[in-house]
Amino acid sequence: MGSVAKYRLLACLTIAIGGAVVGAGCGGDSGGSNTVNWYVFNEPGGGYDAAVDNCNKQNAGKFKINYVRLPTDADQQRELIVRRLAAKDEDIDIIGMDVNWTAEFAEAEWIVPWEGQNEQAATEDRIDALLQGAEYQDKIWVAPFTTNTQLLWYHKDALGNRPVPETWDEMIETAKQIGPEKGKVVVQGRRYEGLVVWFNTLVESGGGQILDEEGNVTLRAEPGSPGVKAATIMKRTATEAGTATISNDKEDTGNDAFQGGLAFMVNYPFVYSSVAEDKEAAANLGYARYPAVEKGKPSRVTFGGINLGVSSYSKNRELAFEAAKCLAAPEQQVQAAVKGGLFPTRESLFQNKEIRDAYPFADLVRETLRDGVPRPVLPAYADISLAIQDKLHPPGDIDPVPAIEDLQDALEKAKEGKLF
């Protein structure tokens, strides 16, 4: 059996175990010369299905997009896609890429840049900050498709007449005033990517960076430095106002706890959708800007989302670009937002009536995204993420200065692909 054939078998087995829904032949439809296979996570709201249907109807006879569903877990998605691309699998045409994959995939030459008119299409009308996650070494490698960001959510009855906190310190102190039964701050503290997002947001909001664009470690283990401030906030949140399950909480489990009446939570806008049909619960749910680290300085929240990359090994590269441009068109981004809760990357669409009717906080999301930041855009990001998780979990055990010292060393090793 040849290496590609062996790889295909391994990928099929892995996908089956991971629960992805795929078609015959373990993935794409390679039967037609105009078929374009789009590998992306299985979006449950129907937004991606609607986008595919729209594009196929609009371009009947030119191309047909085949939606190949991957697991919803980002780590599983990456593992499956990396295995295929490492084997130069020609079945993949378009990749629905997590925003932190850009540099790794570009450096490995698994994707091709968007150039000329394609680059214009990838960058036109996009929120400027989101292009930070699309660019690597002065080239645009992906088209921003959908995005997301975190807000502060609170229960009005728990807050009472107290002012909505504007900083993490204020939020922790307010939670303590409310008392132990409801005075909690819910955050993603599990040892996974959500913990990295929390730390990155705190560091950037404090005026720092984990690593700069050249890959230099910029954290400093000095009292008052952005990294130490971030670690201190994580420690205080866990020990003074966190839930008993903070070290295991993700977005969904944290929201479950929050809906029990707890005071505060930082999380994504699906929180609103989860209670929107319950008028009493929706009326009691408040939202505000993600808390700042320093009073008077706006928070800089780590954005997420899905970008569209075109595989280097696609046999239908030109059609893949055309199909990707259709997927990223305004009408498809509206469908992804309204049906799937995934916000548009196009600035103008925040004025769209359907989006504004579905999300009364659309202006707050846009404002937050304008100040948004990526995670380090570096080829070794996967190892960098693991280093952060290793040194800052559980958050309640963090000793801020020594933790940042250890993290500095781990990051130096991780960016070189060494064990830490």
In the chain, what are the domains? 3-148+303-370 (3.40.190.10), 151-302+380-414 (3.40.190.10)
* Interacting residues of 309 by C-beta distance below 8 A, sequence separation 6+: 94, 95, 97, 101, 102, 105, 110, 111, 141, 142
Residue 27 is predicted with a pLDDT of 52
Note the pLDDT of residue 201: 98
Q: Which stretches of the chain drop beneath a pLDDT of 70?
A: 1-32
Residue 203 pLDDT: 98
Strand locations in 327-378 (E)? 343-344
| pLDDT number for residue 32 | 57
Q: Which pLDDT score, from 0 to 100, does residue 25 have?
A: 39
pTM for this predicted structure = 0.90
Phi (first) and psi of residue 188, to 5 degrees: -85, 95
Segment 237-269, tens digit of pLDDT:
999 999 999 999 999 999 999 999 999 999 999
Give per-residue pLDDT as tens, 2-49.
433 333 333 343 333 333 434 333 555 544 589 999 999 999 999 999
Length of the chain: 420
Phi and psi for 353 in degrees, rounded to 5? -65, -40
What is the rounded distance in angstroms from the CA atom of residue 67 to the CA atom of residue 65?
A: 6
